[in-house]
Structure 1
Amino acid sequence: MKILHLSAAKNWGGGENHIENLCNELKFLDKTVTNVILCVKDASFHQKIKNKDLIVETAPMLIKLDLRYTAKILSVCKKHGIDLIHIHDSTALTFAVMATKLGTLPPFVLSKKTSFPIKDRPRTLYKYNHPQIQKILCVSEETKMIASNSVADSSKLATVYHGTTLEKATNVQFDLRSELKIPEDRIIVGSIANHIRAKNLKTWVDLVNEVINNRDEKKFHFVQIGSFTDRSQDYLKRISDKNLKDHVSFMGFIPNASGLIPQFDISLLTSQSEGVPQFIYESFYYKIPVVSTNVGGIPEIIEDGVNGMLSNPYEAESLADKLIALSNDEIKMKEFTELSHHKLINNFTTRKMAEQTLAEYKKVLYGKN
């Protein structure tokens, strides 16, 4: 079985981490499976995986719809004798659908990794309902439900949770407290999220302001890790305008950032839309308690007050309530992390994800598990 994985992402994020984990796990599960990754040349994903034990092909993307990527799909399929194409993002889907106009391609499997609704536009609906797509793997039941509103054939939809790998290898070499000069008595509240709309860092800034200025809770230091975008300057200006710079560290993109999670006291997520973020799975693994918004598939893995704290999106005051309350209850934090870690090990590992994904591949290619 020869699988071509398509990624048109330019930044490294949870979706790209999923591709790397999936390819590594599939290689372990079935020696007859060959994985080929086609990604954007010199983008963050390419830089991250180019020296790994993976078959990597690249295509340039100097404009949003660079047809050289489309042409590369066809040439890679021919070169490697590809049996199935697994598409990992919306832009890659656009290229793959375009490629069907230029040549014969093997069947598609599509991953739907966010809970954003599929836009009600003719071209968008066309590509998500393209007959070449045999399966759509949704990252949560919530994502599956939302996708069913736009995908005509709901039998194509299946839920496959991503999870995290239990074999941790990290090159993170620095200590947050010493590097950032964070006093020992401060509680480190960590967030790993690229500066994109879905992660809603505006609410993150509002939460910091609520905790530090409105509640006068100076015991916290907030660490934010993730790739900067055109939204970043606005967040930085808000931090400066509200005199929060002494309580916040924006660190930008850090390779293997999940290796820093054990140094957090609490993990925080303020997203307005998600599938199920890798950051939460990683926090479960490292036994760090989580405060999060209740969007996407997050309520499927966190029960509010049982193994984490959840609040509605955009509600900075409610998130502040949850964060402060949790920080004052060490027993509750211990209970949360033990329950979450157990839940992760039993339900949300990359090994289980790969097993379920492989079963879906076999259904498409052979009509069986």
Structure 2
Amino acid sequence: MQNNNIHILHLSAVTNWGGGENHIENLCSELSITNPEVKNTIFCVNNSPFHERLKNTGIQFTTATLGIKIDPRYIFELGRFCKKETINLIHIHDPSAIQLAIIADKLYNLPPFIFSKKTSFPIKQRKKTLYKYNYSKIKKILCVSEETKKVAEKGIYDHDKLITIYHGTNLKTKSSETSFQLRDKYNIPKSKKIIGNIANHIRAKHLDTWVDIADNLINKEKRNDFFFVQIGTFTERTEALLNRIKELKLENYMLFLGYTINASNFIPQFDISLITSQSEGIPQFIYESMYHKVPVITTNVGGIPEIIEHNNNGLLSDMHDHKTLANHVVNLSKNPQLQMDFIEKGYKKLIENFTTNNMAQQTLVVYKKTVNNA
């Protein structure tokens, strides 16, 4: 198909809002500006946070019901939509959507797929899982980092399908406008440095380490010059985290805001961005912090060391090592020159390498090659 006018369907089966959904939104927004000949439609879960957010954008979207993991309503709607709209390529954005797309393909003979692997979780060596990830309709797998690609190689038979495309941050949508100021609303004195984190309460983010760091600094080292602010969707893990905070008597030093619209707009109010993940692709929170010129301390998991170089544009630690992370917080907070060095180098690296424009153009090359070879 030698034609620039192609229609891409972006498939999401996620029922919350996170970095993966932010990536879809950024990709579609960027392509609408740079390549209007490429039509993009997002197919997402009805009444999900992603659906609600898309209502306030100019991005074309459609929805389907997903009440159970394999919901026939989602599958049938996907098949019907592809036939009605003449979709040229389906870009699958999460593992849950792969299985739904495969079933729909058996019924409707869908167009070719590409899949974005956005985490460094290994592909489980189970027959059904390997079948899913190696399904013949998946022509390319876009990996968010070189580490993600390396991990994926163990579960993908044809390594030529694997391509690294770093996600980027959207320079056109940045804002520091918020409905309130953290310090004003929560009476955080200027003498306390705000240590911020944006992450949903999922296993990969390991927020227990976040609590351990606060415990180490406040209870063990008797520091009272830090205040911890965490923003992200609550899950079944949240109650245990909140109970730990009460047990450790950290309620006056730590705040969990839950899901917050335009959470990244609060980043300029942080003094340090702190990431405690035990598994990652590359979190958008790092890109956003680099843009808003807030220094980053993070674990060295997944593709993060490809973005943050220790002692060059941030500080790294092994996962779960709350003592080293706590020391990093103390050392960075008392060294303004080091903070400025990290901020300047981080911002420069972001602008040169990790923007949505770079990501979109690299992804578009894959789209066109895949469609033309179909």
1:52 and 2:84 correspond: no
Write the mapping of 1:1-369 to structure 2, written as runs, cut at 5 A. 1-170=6-175, 172-367=178-373
> What SS class does the counterpart of residue 110 from structure 1 fall into?
strand
CA distance in 1, matches of 2:293, 2:66: 39
> What SS class does the counterpart of residue 101 from structure 1 fall into?
helix
Structure 2 length-normalised TM = 0.97
For residue 169 of structure 1, report the CA deviation from its aligned partner.
4.7
CA distance in 2, matches of 1:189, 1:366: 49
Give per-residue Cα distances to partners, 1:152-173, cap 9 Å, x unaligned. 0000000000110111354522
CA distance in 1, matches of 2:72, 2:110: 16
For residue 188 of structure 1, report the CA deviation from its aligned partner.
0.3
Between stretches 48-57 and 79-88, larger displacement belongs to: 48-57
- Kindly report the root-mean-square deviation, in angstroms, between the aligned alpha carbons of the 2 structures: 1.1
> What SS class does the counterpart of residue 302 from structure 1 fall into?
coil
**Structure 1 residue runs of 4+, over 3 Å off?**
none
Q: Which runs of 5+ in 2 are unaligned?
A: 1-5
Return the letter of the residue paired with 1:257.
A
Say how many residue pairs are matched: 368
Return the letter of the residue paired with 1:341.
Y
> What SS class does the counterpart of residue 170 from structure 2 fall into?
coil
Q: Which runs of 5+ in 1 are unaligned?
A: none
Return the letter of the residue paired with 2:328.
K
Return the letter of the residue paired with 2:161.
K
CA distance in 1, matches of 2:23, 2:65: 22
Structure 1 length-normalised TM = 0.98
CA distance in 1, matches of 2:164, 2:86: 28
Between stretches 157-166 and 64-73, larger displacement belongs to: 64-73
CA distance in 1, matches of 2:173, 2:161: 33
> What SS class does the counterpart of residue 11 from structure 1 fall into?
coil
For residue 147 of structure 1, report the CA deviation from its aligned partner.
0.2
For residue 80 of structure 1, report the CA deviation from its aligned partner.
1.3
For residue 367 of structure 1, report the CA deviation from its aligned partner.
4.8
CA distance in 1, matches of 2:107, 2:220: 59
Between stretches 163-172 and 103-112, larger displacement belongs to: 163-172
CA distance in 2, matches of 1:51, 1:337: 32
Between stretches 219-228 and 57-66, larger displacement belongs to: 57-66
Give per-residue Cα distances to partners, 1:310-335, cap 9 Å, x unaligned. 00001111111111111111000000
Return the letter of the residue paired with 1:244.
L
- Percent identical pairs in the alignment equals 53
> What SS class does the counterpart of residue 65 from structure 1 fall into?
coil
For residue 51 of structure 1, report the CA deviation from its aligned partner.
3.0
> What SS class does the counterpart of residue 245 from structure 1 fall into?
coil
> What SS class does the counterpart of residue 169 from structure 2 fall into?
coil
> What SS class does the counterpart of residue 142 from structure 2 fall into?
strand
For residue 50 of structure 1, report the CA deviation from its aligned partner.
1.8
> What SS class does the counterpart of residue 100 from structure 2 fall into?
helix
CA distance in 1, matches of 2:56, 2:186: 31
CA distance in 2, matches of 1:94, 1:309: 39
CA distance in 2, matches of 1:360, 1:168: 25
CA distance in 1, matches of 2:112, 2:270: 43
CA distance in 2, matches of 1:93, 1:313: 30
CA distance in 1, matches of 2:76, 2:339: 52
Return the letter of the residue paired with 2:56.
N
Return the letter of the residue paired with 1:229.
T
